[in-house]
Amino acid sequence: MHELSLSVSLIEQATEILKQESGGRVLALTLDVGVLSGVSPEALQFCFPQAAHGTALEKCLLKINEIPLLVYCSDCQAEEQVEGPYPLCPSCQGVDVAVRKGREFNIVSMEIE
Amino acid sequence: MCDDCGEHESKVLHLERQVLSKNSQLAEQNRLWFKKHSMRAINMMSSPGSGKTTLLEKTTQAFCSFGKMAILVGDLQTELDAERLRTVGARALQINTGQGCHLDAAMIAGHLGKFIAGDERLLMIENVGNLVCPSAYDLGEQHKVALLSVTEGEDKPLKYPALFHQADLIVITKMDLVAFVPWSQAKAMDAILKVNPRAKIIRLSAHSGEGMDEWLQWLKES
C-alpha cells in the first residue's frame, strides 16, 4: 500500500497550487483515479486525512471519480468502455486495443478559500 | 461566502494536473540524461523472491563482453543484494527505502553523474519486490520488465493488472522448476494476453541458462 506516500504528494501539489492562488485552505479536492493507475481509491480515502493533519488541507473533502477503462478497438474501429481492469474489447473480446482512459491519477478541481 | 463565519470567499479551480507531476518531471530529466549518455535504463519489477537478483548475477557475468553495466537495487533494508551482486563483479549500489514500498525518480536522479558515471551502456534498476506500488512511479527508464516465476502461479498478471499491463517484457523465471510445480503455460499465456497483449515474453532459468541468450539479446537491442 503506497497511498500514504501518494497522499503526501497530493498534499504537496495542492499546497503549491494554493500558494500560487494566495489561498488560505483547501475545502475540497476532486481527483480522477483510473482503474489501471495502480492507486486504490479506498486506501487513498483512508490515508488522506492522516497525511492532511496539520496542513492547509486538514478537513478537506476528498472526492474521487473512479475512471473506468476506455479502449479503442482496432478490429471494431470503435471506442468501448470496459468493465474491470483488463484491456479487452467488450464487443469482440479482441486484444488489439489502445487504452484511451483508465490510467489517470489527476487533480481535476480544488475548492479553496 | 463562508458557511461558518459568512466572510471568506471560496472559489473552485478547474485543473488537469497529475498528482505525481513532480515525479514525472524528474523521471523525464532522468530519461534525457540516459539519452544524452546513450545509456539504456531498465526498471525490473516483480514480487519478492521471483529471481530478480539471481537474474542480475547471471546477467553481470554474461553482459561484460558487450559493455559496461551498473545496477541500482532497491530494498527496504540491508545491503544484502548489492553485496551479492558485487561478489560476482557487478558495479552495484543499494538503495534502502526504509518503509517505502517502491523506488521513485528522485532516488535514481541522486545517483546520476555520481555512482552512475555516464559511460555505462546499461543501467539495471531492481525495484523493491512488490507487485503494486512500483507501477505508479515512472523512474525515467526506457523499458519496464516484469518478472513472474513459475512458483508464484500463473494468475499473478490477472491479480495485479496495473503492473503487468505496463511491462514491455515479461520474463517467466525459474523454468528449471516447472516440472515440480502446478504451472500451466497455457493459463499463464491467457493471463498475460488479457492484461498486456503487446508484451514480449521470455521463458528463462538463470540456473539452467534456458532463455538467457534471448534475454541478453533483448538487453542489447532494447
Q: Give yes or no for A36 touching B (CB within 8 A).
A: yes
Question: Structural domains in chain A?
Answer: 3-69+102-112 (3.30.2320.50)
Å from A78 to nearest chain B CA?
18
ipTM of this model?
A: 0.89
pLDDT computed for residue B56 by the predictor:
98
What confidence score (pLDDT) does residue B203 get? 98
The three cell numbers of residue B52 are: 530478480
* Closest chain B residue to A110, measured at CA: B13
Residue A102's closest chain B neighbor by CA?
Answer: B162
pLDDT average per 10 residues of sequence, chain B (222 residues): 65 94 96 98 98 97 92 96 96 94 96 97 97 94 98 95 96 98 96 94 98 97 86
Of chain B residues 7-26, which have a CB less than 8 A from chain A? 8-23
Instruction: Tell me how many residue pairs between chain A and chain B have CB atoms under 8 A apart.
Output: 94
Q: Quick one: closest CA in B to A14, which residue?
A: B19
Sheet holding B91-96, edge to edge: B91-96, B69-75, B122-126, B40-45, B143-149, B169-173, B200-203
Q: Looking at beta carbons, which residues of chain B come within 8 Å of A16?
A: none
What's the rounded Cα separation, in Å, for the pair B222 and B210? 20
pLDDT at residue A2 in the model: 86
Which pLDDT does position B64 carry in this prediction? 87
Please answer yes or no on whether B102 and A21 come within 8 Å at the CB atom.
Answer: no
Q: pLDDT tens, A78-106? A: 999 999 999 999 999 888 899 999 999 99
Say if residues B159 and B148 touch (Cβ distance below 8 Å): no
Distance CA B99, CA B221 (A): 35
Reported in sequence order, the residue ranges of A2-101 that DSSP labels E, i.e. its strands, are 26-34, 61-67, 69-73, 78-82, 97-101
Q: Which segments of B157-217 are extended strands (E)?
A: 169-173, 200-203
User: CA of B77 to nearest chain A CA: how many angstroms apart?
Assistant: 17
pLDDT at A67 over 90: yes
Q: Is the pLDDT of residue A60 over 80?
A: yes
Q: Which residues of A touch B131 (CB under 8 A)?
A: none
Of B8, B19, B20, the CB nearest to A113: B8
Q: Which amino acid is at B100?
A: G
pLDDT attached to residue B9 = 84
* Dist. CA B210–CA B115, nearest whole Å: 32
The domains located in chain B, with CATH, are 5-221 (3.40.50.300)
SS3 B183: coil
For B178, the 3-state DSSP assignment is: helix
d(CA B193, CA B187) in angstroms, rounded, equals 10
Q: For residue A36, what pLDDT is reported?
A: 92
Asked if pLDDT for residue A1 goes beyond 80, the answer is no
User: In this complex, which of A39, A87, A113 lies closest to B165 when CB atoms are compared?
Assistant: A87
Instruction: Considering only residues A1 and B154, tell me which one the structure prediction assigns the higher pLDDT.
Output: B154
**Dist. CA B175–CA B146, nearest whole Å:** 15
Q: What is the CA B50 to chain-centroid distance, rounded?
A: 12
Concatenate the DSSP letters of all residues of B102-142 into one string: S--HHHHHTTBTTTB-S--SEEEEE--S-SSGGGG---S-S
